[in-house]
Structure 1
Amino acid sequence: MSQGDTYNAEQAHFLKDDILLQAQKAKQSPPIVHLFHEDFLHPGAWTILPIITKLHTLHGGNSSWVLFLESRTRVNLPVLLEELSAVGEESRLEASRSKRSKKSKRKVERGKWVGHALHDREPTIIHHFQSDGRLSYPHFSAGFAMDRILLHILSDRVEDWASSGEVSDFSIDAAHELASFIWNSGQGAPLTHSRAFCLTMDQNKTEIPRCATWPLPFEPCGEPESPDAVYFAVKTCSKFHAARLSVVKRTWARYSVHINYFSDTEDPAIPSINLGIPNTEHGHCAKTKAILQHVSEEMKKNERLKNIKWVVLVDDDTILSVARLLSLLSCFPNKDKTTPIVLGERYGYRVSEPMEEEFPSYSYGYNYATGGGGVVLNREAVRLLSESDVCVCPAPDAPDDMVLLGVCLSRLGISVTHSPSFHQARPLDYPAKYLKPQHPVSFHKHWMIDPVHVYREWFAASDQEIKMEKSTIPVHHEL
């Protein structure tokens, strides 16, 4: 499930080569390994369902299993084959018992899929508050596999689903949405949990079975980005100055060098900048566009901003780690100043249409960077978004992420690079195991939590590591 940016593509190619090398050493036929960013050029490939029919056409008749892996997932091929063989044998035994049982004569074969199962503790916003205590969904970073029976069933269902016009408009959490589609309110196959699909490399070191798959922990790709190279633009409004900005200033803003607060009023105590855009309850498209234009012009004229490589758009209730962000940016060297980069948490709008050879890619929807967890743009992306004629807000309160960081990017041919480090919701909105193998950079929302406590629990220790560096550079330049 690869992406086309250099960092993720290199990881994907390494994974592909490693799988083929393991097969060669075991004297097995080389498996077919697809890279999404090369073989499935569909904006919704990351949601899996749009490419199911294509996968079935290619491999439905020649493969017992189809394995899905993230670029950072690693595989122990012999252990994986043992695990899939055991799951397959269990399925055959179940089918045999079903045939012998009179009560189960009408039982429809549902296929099998296996991975590291997650469950929601309670209805959560990231899953549209859907509540089904029986539904489990795979941790994508550990990988998951479908057998050929399930692949065949899904291929038929996806075609019917697409023609029915019931395709969901929004794609938010691909793992949960895929599991919900397969589960089909209890009529489809439940996810089989396997301890061999691990969340850490040493999870099953002393256990049987050993790990068949596991995600690599995040490692910086070199020295962290300089704090002087990052500009933070905080979106706020007067009614939140006291409650929210006080939290920002007490926590992560202390470790920023260039930061400004864009509001509907000028407040010297903050200080905040009023760009003349009235506040809206939702959307904020006009405000975000004005911020991008303001920052773009300031970077051209202000000598103190000559070292800026990145602009980070955040909300006033975004909770983040500056140190972790700088570490993440080491993997995006930004050497080619003419190539735009947009990094954040990816959502999709109308990207679930099945992949069809006869339809051009522009007939599908688009991906966008959702704003709550923060969105990182390099200078070239900021310039294009602020200057391009195709980046127009249809209304001041249009959704800024969908319009500017979705439609506009799509028209400009700029892809959103997804990182699991950015989070649109609070830590408690995710299963604990979901966050375990991640390197969180941000969370979002102060609702019913103590945001300072969240910051201290998740980010304070990391940020304190750059505290000494800040003594040699000016802090909190206001433009």
Structure 2
Amino acid sequence: MRSGNMALTTKCILLFSLLTGGLMSDSKSDKEVRHDVSVQDVVFVIRNQEHPFHLKRARLLKADIEQQCRVLGLEKPKIVLLTEKYGESGHWVIFPLLPKLGEHYGKPKYKWIFFCEEETRVKIPGLLNVLRRYDPSEFWFLGKELRDQAPSIIHHYRFHNDPSVFAFPDFEAGWLLSVPLLQVLSDRWKTGDHHMDFTIDLKHEIAFFIWDDGKGVKLTHVQELCSGNIGSNDPPSNDDDVAKAKMEKESKDAEMRRRRNKGKEKAECVTTYPIDMMECGPAVSKKNLYFAVKTCEKFHKDRVPVVKNTWAQYVKHIQYFSETEDKTIPTVVTGIPNTERGHCGKTFFIFDHFLNDAWLKHIPWLIITDDDTILSVSRLQRVLSCYDPETPVYLGERYGFGHTKHGWGYDYITGGGGMVFSRSAVQEMISNGCQCRSNADPDDMIIGACVKRIGQVITHSPLFHQARPADYVPAFLQHQTPVSFHKHSNGDPYQVYKDWFQVDDEKGDLVLDLQDDDNDDDGESNDLAQSKTEDKGSEEAEETVVTVRTDKHTEL
């Protein structure tokens, strides 16, 4: 029995050595100073979300890390899911958690904190091998670097003379702090004076805080941390033998690549992040999506036509909400004066309309957009396959406000990229007294504060974007399948739609519409809308709901 255990241990050591490249004695890395590190020295922090779908994905990542360690004969790793360990809102912002992370995982027990996203996958032996290059007693901030190519509004136009001088980490590739640096950051946050502020692009804001106006630590680029380097994550295996065979195959493949690329300094990725969009089943039918576009009179002639001639061609149910009647669109008149900022009154008018208008009551999803939002209907249909409209869902690009201490502040869906609500979510807000203080209140922030007050959560999708494509690092967008962008300024919105969304929407219009036709056994939505206009026969009804049939879509 003892000899059997020794044989098993020997096999694990050999596999571990292969996976880390430990047998490549002539490689450049073997001539460097190596620092001792084991899986017990690393805390794996998964920056997950509370929604059941996202929690399940995070637990799959945790199981994958644990399985790797079992197969390799390593100790059980320390893995933290933020929502399970720190349930209060704002945990995703990291800043208010720094004191707790420093207290719970500071030295001397640990050396490194590895942060990653739910869909990040990490090869444990490879990661440990990378970390051996860095002295864990020093201050290290490691990651895959991103650099702005132009000043960006989402980064507050920092480093506007040359934004490329500042590097910040791609969270999806994973990033690391040495524990000594974590302790310093923890102390700085505990003793610092933090004013209530917005969290917009956390990866840039984290790097800016750590840099500390040049007095702190810059990001060190690690080429083995990768993202967008696989199509999709493989389904997990519950069989350790199957997992072991897969790891052995990967190690042999990596060894062959090392031999082919000898002398070319090509690194093997130790982390992956998929480029493909996550889909959980059939795409949501177009008949189950209702789009409400917020507009106003001054944009009826320039912005609304862009919507109509791009993504609105591929929807079944859409209306345009304005303070002014315009039969050429046609608009739904809200009776609420237009405001330059906020639009809370208009948004809550849409909520009331969605809940109480008879022909809308069978539609489970509400999508509220601006009149300069550019999106892909097909991609949105696929994203929503992972969510249940019978439960409260508040989905979009998440921003934060006031997260200066753990549990303080609230999250909100920034409106420009599109806000998605299940019918259940809208019912929860209205039945619990959510309302505007004035028509000019910022609708997205009022909704976010209300969602926290009623004990529910905002769900973030990195595929929704508040800004233009030009405001994001190209390398970051290249490993995404975006759902939306926002704003027409300094660019051609038609070209943005053509470059990013048109092909998918045209393809989806052919494939998904056939599915809709097969499953559409009642035709209720179009018939209800048309009969509503015909039965009332009044000028008021004609102003409110007009059915315009085309070969591709129905506008209401």
Asked if these proteins are the same fold (TM beyond 0.5), I'd say: yes
| Corresponding residue of 1:422 | 464
Is residue 184 from structure 1 mapped to residue 226 from structure 2 by the alignment?
Answer: no
When the two structures are superposed, what TM-score results if normalisation uses the length of structure 2?
0.76
TM-superposed deviation, 1:168? 4.6
* Residue of 138, 144, 147 corresponding to 2:169: 138
* Residue of 334, 340, 349 corresponding to 1:281: 340
Cα distance between partner residues in 2 of 1:77 and 1:268: 62
TM-superposed deviation, 1:467? 2.2
| Corresponding residue of 1:95 | none
Is residue 399 from structure 1 mapped to residue 442 from structure 2 by the alignment?
Answer: yes
Is residue 193 from structure 1 mapped to residue 227 from structure 2 by the alignment?
Answer: no
Q: Answer whether contact 1:293 1:387 (CA < 8 A) is retained.
A: no
| Corresponding residue of 2:134 | 87
Q: How does 1:340-351 map to 2 (within 5 A)?
A: 340-351=392-403
Cα distance between partner residues in 2 of 1:168 and 1:114: 28
1:176-195 Cα deviation digits (max 9, x unpaired): 11100000111111111111
* Residue of 465, 472, 497 corresponding to 1:455: 497
Q: Answer whether contact 1:47 1:175 (CA < 8 A) is retained.
A: no
Q: How does 1:154-169 map to 2 (within 5 A)?
A: 154-161=185-192, 164=193, 166-169=194-197
1:65-108 Cα deviation digits (max 9, x unpaired): 000010010011110111111133xx77xxxxxxxxxxxxxxxx
Cα distance between partner residues in 1 of 2:133 and 2:228: 22
Cα distance between partner residues in 1 of 2:471 and 2:103: 38
Cα distance between partner residues in 2 of 1:318 and 1:123: 21
TM-superposed deviation, 1:478? 4.9
| Corresponding residue of 2:117 | 70
1:43-73 Cα deviation digits (max 9, x unpaired): 2211111111111111112111000010010
**What residue identity is the alignment partner of 1:279?**
N
State the SS of the aligned residue for 1:424. Answer: coil
- Alignment CA distance shift 1:388-1:82 (3 Å): same
Q: Answer whether contact 2:228 2:480 (CA < 8 A) is retained.
A: no
- Alignment CA distance shift 1:461-1:133 (3 Å): closer
Cα distance between partner residues in 2 of 1:437 and 1:202: 9
Is residue 366 from structure 1 mapped to residue 410 from structure 2 by the alignment?
Answer: yes
State the SS of the aligned residue for 1:79. Answer: helix
1:4-36 Cα deviation digits (max 9, x unpaired): 112211110000011011111111111110101
State the SS of the aligned residue for 1:327. Answer: helix
Is residue 216 from structure 1 mapped to residue 285 from structure 2 by the alignment?
Answer: no
Q: Answer whether contact 1:348 1:367 (CA < 8 A) is retained.
A: yes
Cα distance between partner residues in 1 of 2:280 and 2:401: 32
1:111-131 Cα deviation digits (max 9, x unpaired): 101111111112211011111
1:355-387 Cα deviation digits (max 9, x unpaired): 3xxxxx4xx111111100001000011222334
Per mean C-alpha deviation after superposition, the further-off stretch among 62-71 and 168-177 is: 168-177
| Corresponding residue of 2:479 | 437
| Corresponding residue of 2:86 | 40
Is residue 378 from structure 1 mapped to residue 422 from structure 2 by the alignment?
Answer: yes
| Corresponding residue of 2:545 | none
Is residue 4 from structure 1 mapped to residue 50 from structure 2 by the alignment?
Answer: yes
| Corresponding residue of 2:383 | 328
**What residue identity is the alignment partner of 1:396?**
N
Is residue 27 from structure 1 mapped to residue 73 from structure 2 by the alignment?
Answer: yes
Per mean C-alpha deviation after superposition, the further-off stretch among 43-52 and 461-470 is: 461-470
State the SS of the aligned residue for 1:46. Answer: helix
Q: Answer whether contact 2:230 2:273 (CA < 8 A) is retained.
A: no
- How many residue pairs match? The answer is 440
| Corresponding residue of 2:366 | 311
Cα distance between partner residues in 1 of 2:394 and 2:400: 15
| Corresponding residue of 1:18 | 64
Q: Answer whether contact 1:261 1:273 (CA < 8 A) is retained.
A: yes
1:273-328 Cα deviation digits (max 9, x unpaired): 11100100001111111111111111xx22xx454111001000000000000010
* Residue of 261, 264, 268 corresponding to 2:323: 264
Cα distance between partner residues in 2 of 1:38 and 1:326: 30
Q: Answer whether contact 1:199 1:436 (CA < 8 A) is retained.
A: no
Cα distance between partner residues in 1 of 2:210 and 2:323: 46
Unaligned runs of at least 5 residues, structure 1:
93-108, 356-360
Cα distance between partner residues in 1 of 2:364 and 2:349: 19
State the SS of the aligned residue for 2:302. Answer: helix
Cα distance between partner residues in 2 of 1:367 and 1:306: 28
TM-superposed deviation, 1:477? 4.4
| Corresponding residue of 2:34 | none
Higher relative contact order (CA 8 A, sep 6+): 1
**What residue identity is the alignment partner of 1:176?**
H
Is residue 293 from structure 1 mapped to residue 352 from structure 2 by the alignment?
Answer: yes
TM-superposed deviation, 1:332? 1.0
TM-superposed deviation, 1:449? 0.6
Is residue 388 from structure 1 mapped to residue 432 from structure 2 by the alignment?
Answer: yes
| Corresponding residue of 1:358 | none
TM-superposed deviation, 1:388? 3.1
State the SS of the aligned residue for 1:86. Answer: coil
Cα distance between partner residues in 2 of 1:388 and 1:219: 32
**What residue identity is the alignment partner of 2:268?**
R
**What residue identity is the alignment partner of 2:509?**
K
1:201-260 Cα deviation digits (max 9, x unpaired): 359975643111121232311110101100000000011011001000000000000100
When the two structures are superposed, what TM-score results if normalisation uses the length of structure 1?
0.88
Unaligned runs of at least 5 residues, structure 2:
1-46, 232-252, 518-522, 527-548
Q: Answer whether contact 2:99 2:189 (CA < 8 A) is retained.
A: yes
Is residue 113 from structure 1 mapped to residue 156 from structure 2 by the alignment?
Answer: no
Q: Cα RMSD over matched residues?
A: 1.9
TM-superposed deviation, 1:392? 2.1
Q: Answer whether contact 2:316 2:555 (CA < 8 A) is retained.
A: no
| Corresponding residue of 2:301 | 242
| Corresponding residue of 2:182 | 151
Q: Answer whether contact 1:296 1:386 (CA < 8 A) is retained.
A: no
Q: Answer whether contact 2:289 2:317 (CA < 8 A) is retained.
A: yes
Cα distance between partner residues in 2 of 1:202 and 1:417: 24
